Structure 1
Amino acid sequence: MLDKVESTLMLIAAGEFAMGILGNAFIGLVNCMNWIKNRKIASIDLILTSLAISRICLLCIILLDYFILGLYPDVYTTGKKMRIIDFFWTLTNHLNVWFATCLSIFYFLKIANFFHPLFLWMKWKIDSAIPKILLGCLAFSVFISLVVSENLNDDFRSCVKVKKKTNITVKCRVNKAQYASIKICLNLLTLFPFSVSVISFLLLLLSLWRHTRQMKVSATGCRDPSIEAHVGAMKAVISFLLLFIAYYLAFLVATSSYFMPETELAVMIGELIALIYPSHSLILILGNNKLRQASLRVLWKVKCILKRRNH
């Protein structure tokens, strides 16, 4: 029964992976082609491309760990393989959170309407600062990943990943407790960029409310592009917040599952939920005019090809 469940979960995971790779690869490809064509890249495109690449890497790491856990769990009996997987998972995980936070801040600074001197200064400086901020996020994520991988015991996975387990010893309990404490600290670190995204969303909401009130006073009946920009940015930010909460909870499930009897199955369910977060790129595509137009052109070409084959 357990084998059937694991096979079903792997099939679902492969489907989520395929959708995520297609969506994020499309974002990266469109922006890179425009970059090559125009010999320059806009700040929003740079953020979206960085986010798409980090999500592709995160998808690959999660799926790799997922299939190793389900098919070849004894691979993790050596500490080196454990350290490599944990390093890249921690790296891509933090990059995703920080890049998504950069996107939230960028939307806030570019779309919100405030007249505070600090806000106006940040709005003026954001375009030139984006490359430096992204590089800073990369450097910080690499540093955190190195610290995490160096502080994990080599024999930890041999206690929790191997199917043919012996009785759990005191040493294994200590290793589990250490691993869990490290993962909890990592989760607490990601709460800071998440909080920044929440603040950006609330300030965008405040800006939209103030702008809507001003529109009612002026009693203009035409479509307002500012309101449309606010709503589009808020959809992107709130989708990140909701999916990150699901990813965060799934990460906690996967971490705490090392204390459960059916460790492998619990981790697989947690990782299956975690795959949803980097796989979801549809809102980013629909919220960006250039990406939306490119996707419509692709769909039109696919439709034409299918029509030709039918005739």
Structure 2
Amino acid sequence: MTGKVEDTLMLLAAGEFSLGILGNAFIGLVNCVDWIKNRKITSIDLILTSLAISRISLLCIILLDCLILVLYPDIYAVGKQMRIIDYFWTLTNHLMVWFATCLSIFYFLKIANFFHPLFLWMKWRIDGAIPKILLGCLALSVFISLPFTKNLGDDFRRCVKAKVKMNLTLRCRVNKTQYASIKIGLNLLTLLPFSVSLISFLLLILSLWRHTRRMQLNATGYRDPSIEAHVRATRAVTSFLLLFIAYYLAYLVATSSYFMAETELAVIVGELIALICPSVHSVILILENKKLRKASLRVLWKVKSSCCHLLPYEKQLAQPHGPS
């Protein structure tokens, strides 16, 4: 790649990384401060905080991998260091997806209106089960990540960066089937929580449709709080599903560059697209959550007030002073 292309891609990566870090750090900070003040944390705040932490970790791993690929490409020929990055990328990737799935399930159970005994039992037990579910997601992600990382040999990372410079074609072909099976299995496992989120989304849409129809039959206004809660939850889950599809495709590009000729550019472009999901979805969650939205408006108001106070002072300093 040329220097201008590298600079442009790194600038985009830095911008997406900054947006994601600010958004997710804001979510975690607001919920932690509220936790300290009230000495307790709600289930939704616990899920959002866990999701924010996993996304901050994922963003750092993706940016680190992108920086190493551009600035220190020789490290890609060393299996040990890159195997560690592979492991943490896989771990944080699964954590993000499973925590987001927990958020979708929580929205569905708390907002949807069904009268099936199993649904009512889950709705009643979900608050107490959230900490155990999150710990289970962490344990499952660690369990999933370890075997795949151990099977990733040094040859993969050499092929990513050095197969143009060295004659590694034969070695790459030998490991091609093994690497492909590992990546297919890894991505298929990621589709499991996505399917759960999709089912929760469809059931939430069904609940919204039934509730809206009931309100129409009863001649009730559309400003019903339940409908507004349905709509907000639906928007949050929809945005996650759409962004996850883009992230999933980008993850495939970034991790399947083993089969491409222009691997370096493919990896960086894939990672740039992958950065969008944890960055943009955090902003959407802030806008859809009442407490986070109010906290963000207070922060913006304070920043605006500070700028307004500093502006007259700066103008006064800029005015020329006459002779004393």
TM-score by length of 1: 0.97
The answer as to whether partners of 1:80 and 1:154 remain within 8 angstroms in 2 is: yes
Alpha-carbon distance, 1:175 to partner: 3.0
Task: Find the aligned partners of 2:135 and 2:174 in 1 and give their Cα distance.
Answer: 36
- SS state at 1:293 partner: helix
CA deviations 1:113-152 (Å, max 9, x no partner) are 0000000000000000000000000001011111111111
Q: Say if 2:111 and 2:230, in contact at 8 Å, map to a contact too.
A: yes
Number of residue pairs the alignment of both structures matches: 311
Q: Match of 2:309?
A: 308
Note if contact 1:254-1:268 (Cα within 8 Å) is conserved in structure 2: yes
Asked whether the equivalents of residues 215 and 222 of structure 2 are also in contact (C-alpha less than 8 Å), the reply is no
Q: Could you tell which deviates more after superposition, 110-119 or 273-282?
A: 273-282
What amino acid is aligned across from residue 152 of structure 2 in structure 1?
A: L
| Residue 230 of structure 2 is aligned to residue 239 of structure 1 | no
Deviation (angstroms), 1:181: 2.4
| Residue 263 of structure 2 is aligned to residue 258 of structure 1 | no
Cα distance, 1:100 vs structure 2: 0.3
- Identify the residue that residue 117 of structure 2 maps to in structure 1: 117
1:260 maps to amino acid? M
2:79–2:157 CA contact under 8 A, matched in 1: yes
- Aligned to 2:154, the other structure's residue is in SS state coil
| Matched residue SS, 1:161 | helix
Contact 2:77–2:158 under 8 Å retained in 1:
yes
Opposite residue 71 of structure 1, the aligned amino acid is: L
2:162 and 2:30 map into 1 onto residues whose CA distance is 43
Q: Deviations over 1:58-113 (max 9, x none)?
A: 00000000110111111122211111000100000000000000000000000000
Matched, 1:188 2:188: yes
Aligned residue for 2:91? 91
Post-superposition offset of 1:2: 2.7
Confirm or deny: 8 A CA contact 1:20 1:59 kept in the other structure.
yes
Root-mean-square deviation (CA), in Å? 1.3
Give, in whole Å, the separation in 2 of the partners of 1:282 and 1:129: 27
Whole-Å Cα distance in 2 between the matches of residues 175 and 5 of structure 1? 31
**Paired AA for residue 277 in structure 1:** C
Sort the Cα spacing of 1:222 and 1:234 in 2 relative to 1 into closer, same or farther, 3 A.
Answer: closer
User: For residue 204 of structure 1, what is the aligned residue in structure 2?
Assistant: 204
Partners of 1:290 and 1:128 in 2: CA distance: 22
**5+ residue gaps, structure 1:** none
Equivalent-residue separation in structure 2 for 1:24 and 1:133 (angstroms): 21
The yes-or-no answer on 1:107 pairing with 2:107 is yes
| Native 8 Å contact 2:17 2:63 kept in 1 | yes
- Asked whether the equivalents of residues 111 and 230 of structure 1 are also in contact (C-alpha less than 8 Å), the reply is yes
Identity, in percent, stands at 79
Question: Residue 155 of structure 1: SS of its match in structure 2?
Answer: helix
Name which of structure 1's ranges 197-206 and 77-86 shifts more when overlaid on structure 2: 77-86
State the alpha-carbon separation in 2 of the partners of residues 230 and 141 from structure 1.
30
**Residue in 2 aligned with 1:8?**
8
- State the 1:176 CA deviation: 4.0
* Letter of the 1:175 counterpart: N
The reply to whether residue 219 of structure 1 matches residue 225 of structure 2 is no
Give the stretch that moved more between structures: 176-185 or 125-134. 176-185
**Alpha-carbon shift at residue 299 of structure 1 (Å):** 0.4
Counterparts in 2 of 1:119-198, with a 5 A limit? 119-162=119-162, 165-198=165-198
Q: Following the alignment from structure 2 to structure 1, what is the Cα–Cα distance between the partners of residues 174 and 8?
A: 33
Structure 2 distance, partners of 1:144, 1:169, is 30
Contact 1:254 1:267 in 2 (8 A): yes
Moved more, 67-76 or 162-171: 162-171
Alpha-carbon distance in 1 for matches of 2:76, 2:168: 17
Greater Cα offset, 48-57 or 251-260 = 251-260
Gap runs ≥5 in structure 2? 313-324
The range that moved more, 179-188 or 280-289, is: 179-188
Structure 1: distance between partners of 2:273 and 2:264? 14
Q: Displaced runs of 4+ in structure 1, greater than 4 A?
A: none
The answer to whether the Cα contact below 8 Å between 1:201 and 1:238 also exists between their aligned partners in 2 is yes
Larger Rg: 2
Whole-angstrom CA distance in 2 between matches of 1:49 and 1:233: 17
1: CA distance, partners of 2:258 / 2:237? 32
